[in-house]
Amino acid sequence: MSEGKTDAAPSLDAVRQRIDALDTELLRLIDERASLARVVVAAKRAAGDGGKFGLRPGREAAILRRLISSERKAADAGLIVGVWQELIGDSLAGQGPFHISVWGGRDPGRGVELARQRFGGAPPLRQAARPEDALAAARTSGGVAVCSLTPDNAWWGRLLAEPSLKVFAALPCLAAWGPMSALAVAAIEVEPTGGDSTFWVTDAPGAPSTIIEALGRDGVAADILASTGGLKLFQFAGFYQRDDERLARAPGRLSGVIGAAPTQLDV
The Cα 38–Cα 53 span in angstroms is 15
Which residues are CB-neighbours of 145 under 8 A, at least 6 positions away? 100, 101, 102, 103, 128, 131, 134, 135, 137, 138, 165, 184, 185, 186
Is residue 1's pLDDT more than 90?
A: no
Determine which of 21-25, 52-56, 107-111, 191-195 has the lowest per-residue pLDDT on average.
52-56
Mean pLDDT throughout 195-217?
Answer: 97
What pTM was estimated for this model as a whole?
0.92
H/E run at residue 241: none
Residue 52 is predicted with a pLDDT of 79
Residue 39 to residue 53: CA distance in whole angstroms: 16
* 5 pLDDT more than 70: no
Q: Averaged over 55-68, what is the pLDDT?
A: 96
Comparing CA positions, the residue from 158, 168, 152, 149 lying closest to residue 223 is 149
